[in-house]
Amino acid sequence: MTSATTTLYLEHDVPLATDPLAAVAQLASSGLHEDYVLYERNGEWSFAGGVLAEVCLDRSGARIRGPEGETLLPWDGAPLRQIQSLLAELAVADWRAYGWAAFELAYAKGGDRTTVGDQRLLHLVVPETEVRLKNGVARVRCTDPKALERTVAALAGPSPAPGRPNPVNVRQTGAEEYQQAVALAIEEIHDHKLQKVILSRVLPLGHDVDLVGTYVAGRRGNNPARSFLLRLDGIEAAGFSPEIVVSVSRDGRVVSQPLAGTRAVTSDPELNRRLRSELLADPKEVFEHAISVRIALDELEAVCRPGSMAVEEFMAVRERGTVQHLASRIAGKLAEGHSAWDAFGAVFPAVTASGVPKDAAYATIRNHESRARGLYSGAVLTVDQDGFLDAALILRAVYRHAGTAWLQAGAGIVSQSRPVREFEETCEKLDSVARFLVSA
């Protein structure tokens, strides 16, 4: 990039006249921005509209385009370090980047491109307009004063009319094909090729979807760890993530929260209690969870200070929409010389969406799933100039690309798995989104 004057954001605080969910829906529906990312984390909602700068990664290398021009870095085998170095050059004050990483980044993050196609592996944008909503106030940040005026006006405008959900029956199709794939994976586990794999199935939707309306309806009906709505360069998704991949604070604290082990959440409280007890006592579910925690610990130990790693919570039960999961929290402190990107690379993709060991699980996924996953089980993430990074697992989502919309969900397969039960688990997860779909 050529040197340039640092770009500054203009800022203006606006008291919210409505709840933050309605406010961010207003921004997404306003038409002010073709591309945007909406991200909810721990009571703060952020809307990133337009593209001031963007960073993209594919098998050819990494590229940044921004106010200073364009820089291309040919593939060197360390793609996440390339991303970090490109962002470090960005001449924008107090920037925050938003975007996504495809599941297939897992295949290439260590330098091996043999199983990676021509797809984009990572896409981040630093927005022209950013709105952060917290505690009843929207902080509007824009690089252009007229954009600031338009954004403030959009926040004061009417909320979009709530769409009426058009639920989809997730059990009508796909059972036989998915159960056959699960049975084959169980054979591979019995043959000691791997210990665990998450296999997913795709449910095509026969109609177009109003993603903003679906996001609003689904968020009101779910209690996710993170939620997101994105539209970047024609790739779209709305989702209610049950877990984070990793979060790294400004002072280097690293947290990962693996979820594995599932039962349904129903409208019957007594049945939910029985299912919860069953979940905590089921050897298959406990094994699936424990092995996931062990792998996540091993991965983070590689980038954290010796002795700093701890399991702060083990096998709690968390309700996420239509399901309840076994949940643990792992934390540590970044070692000297390591960054948030190193922590992200260490654990990506989440073991709870890939398998154990990961390389063997990747091979099984490629063998038994009919297409590249893309966003599904990748990550939606934000990263700040000061080193803060937060990455949510892309699950419980609806996806759209090139006019086609679909749902996707998986289940963790271990030696004790039963194909019929694993199919039912995918249905329980799909229902977290399927019952809130709003037709376009």
Confidence class for position 274, pLDDT limits 50, 70, 90: very high
What angle (nearest 5°) sits at the alpha carbon of residue 166, between those of residues 206 and 160?
A: 110
Is residue 2 assigned to a domain? no
Confidence class for position 2, pLDDT limits 50, 70, 90: very low
pLDDT of residue 67: 86
Is residue 140 assigned to a domain? no
pLDDT tens sequence across 221-268: 999 999 999 999 999 999 999 999 999 999 999 999 999 999 999 999
Q: Which residues are catalytic?
A: 243
pTM, rounded to two decimals: 0.95
Q: Contact 49/27 with Cβ under 8 angstroms?
A: yes
pLDDT of residue 142: 98
Torsion of CA 17, 21, 26, 32, to 10 degrees: 120
Is residue 114 assigned to a domain? no
pLDDT of residue 157: 84
- SS3 state of residue 249: coil
Is residue 101 assigned to a domain? no
What percent of the chain is helix, strand and coil (3-state, nearest 5)? Answer: 30, 35, 35
pLDDT tens sequence across 10-27: 999 999 989 999 999 999
User: What CATH number is attached to the domain comprising 327?
Assistant: 3.60.120.10
Is residue 224 assigned to a domain? yes
The fraction of the chain above a pLDDT of 90, given in percent, is 95
Q: Which residues, other chains included, contact 235 with Cβ-Cβ below 8 Å and sequence gap of 6+?
A: 100, 123, 374, 375, 401
- Cα separation of 86 and 55, whole Å? 8
pLDDT of residue 158: 81
Structure tokens at 190: 């019995």
Total of domains in the chain = 1
Is residue 395 assigned to a domain? yes
Is residue 136 assigned to a domain? no
Domain that holds residue 271: 175-434
- List, as one string, the DSSP characters of 3-21: --PPB--EEEEEE-SS-HH
pLDDT of residue 4: 60
Q: Comparing C-alpha atoms, which of 206, 231, 168 is closest to residue 375?
A: 231
Mean confidence (pLDDT) of the chain: 95
Is residue 55 assigned to a domain? no
